[in-house]
């Protein structure tokens, strides 16, 4: 076979789009055959919403001055940001499974653009994230969330999707360089846990120690959560919006070339 870069060079942009569409269909058919793979996207929004609203909502809501109802308005936009980060991990575990099951060997023997494999994975995970966000909003309305601004809601979801697409390049890299899906999940947990709970997603940072507040100020999940909160329930938006877009561009600029290089090297 000729080297992968030359094979990609002979494929037109239209061909790359067609290959990406075919691989997206392949991944969706795999989900259809294995519906259990959607359990995290279905159950995670339900469990986290009920947990934080009914277990922590009363105490944190009192600190916010609005009780449990006020906490619902605070935490739901933050959970949209959390979904974008948590479900991005699936692209890495799925990629690792494809390598270990021999699917990537099959792709390597086909006259398809290597980039199509990457973009198809990202596209399917974006669909999973949108599904999880829909479930989250249904549960949110049932527990009392007031959708005051539909345009702001769609803008917050779009912003979360942009940020999620950048984080997926990180997990794609992990899916290529780590040996199995369990290792990707373990590393992902080590990355996700401090970013999610050291942010303004679940509680205002003013109650945190000074050193943690400093971490929260530079945490991209905090800027995403605050931007989503401003768009959905009102408040300042511009600074957090531009900070989130800046983080997304920076992460993509750094990690996308790394992921593509590692993928080409391994395949």
C-alpha dihedral (10, 12, 18, 23), degrees to nearest 10:
40
Q: What is the pLDDT along the chain (267 residues), one digit of tens a residue?
A: 444 444 455 677 777 778 788 888 887 887 788 777 788 788 888 998 998 888 887 778 777 777 788 889 999 999 998 888 888 888 888 778 877 777 776 777 776 777 788 888 888 888 888 999 999 999 999 998 988 889 999 999 999 999 999 999 999 888 888 888 888 888 888 888 888 888 889 888 887 888 888 889 889 999 999 999 999 998 889 999 999 999 999 999 999 999 888 888 876
**Residue 10 domain-assigned (yes or no):** no
pLDDT of residue 187: 85
> What's the pLDDT at 228?
94
Q: Tell me, what's the pLDDT at 9?
A: 52
- Block residue for tokens 């768009």: 231
| Residue 46: domain span | 17-266
pLDDT digits (tens, 9 = 90+) for 205-234: 887 888 888 889 889 999 999 999 999 998
On whether residue 68 sits in a domain, the answer given is: yes
The model's pTM: 0.86
Residue 62 counted as domain residue: yes
Tell me whether residue 41 is in a domain: yes
Dist CA 126 CA 132 (whole Å): 10
**How many distinct structural domains can be found in the chain?**
1
Q: Cα separation of 32 and 34, whole Å?
A: 5
| 77 located within any domain | yes
pLDDT single digits (tens) 78-119? 999 888 888 888 888 877 887 777 777 677 777 677 778 888
Rg for the chain, CA atoms, rounded:
20
pLDDT score of 104: 72
- The distance from CA 175 to its chain's CA centroid, rounded to whole angstroms, is 15
């Amino acid at each position: 076979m000729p080297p992968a870069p030359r094979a990609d060079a002979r494929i037109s942009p239209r061909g790359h789009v067609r290959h990406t569409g075919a691989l997206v269909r392949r991944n969706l058919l795999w989900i259809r055959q294995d519906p259990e793979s959607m359990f995290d996207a279905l159950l995670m929004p339900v469990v986290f919403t009920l947990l934080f609203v009914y277990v922590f909502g009363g105490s944190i809501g009192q600190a916010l001055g609005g009780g449990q109802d006020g906490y619902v308005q605070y935490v739901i936009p933050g959970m949209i940001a959390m979904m974008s980060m948590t479900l991005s991990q699936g692209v890495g575990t799925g990629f690792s499974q494809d390598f270990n099951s021999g699917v990537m060997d099959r792709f390597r023997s086909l006259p398809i653009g290597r980039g199509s494999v990457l973009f198809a994975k990202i596209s399917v995970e974006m669909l999973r994230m949108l599904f999880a966000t829909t479930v989250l909003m249904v549960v949110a309305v049932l527990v009392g969330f007031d959708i005051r601004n539909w345009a702001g809601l769609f803008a917050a979801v779009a912003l979360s999707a942009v940020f999620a697409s950048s984080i997926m390049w990180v997990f794609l890299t992990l899916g290529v360089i780590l040996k199995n899906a369990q290792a990707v999940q373990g590393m992902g947990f080590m990355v996700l846990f401090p970013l999610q709970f050291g942010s303004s997603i679940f509680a205002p940072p003013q109650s945190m120690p000074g050193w943690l507040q400093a971490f929260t100020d530079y945490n991209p999940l905090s800027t995403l959560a605050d931007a989503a909160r401003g768009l959905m329930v009102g408040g300042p938006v511009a600074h957090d919006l531009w900070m989130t877009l800046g983080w997304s561009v920076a992460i993509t600029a750094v990690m996308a070339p790394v992921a593509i290089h590692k993928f080409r090297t391994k395949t």
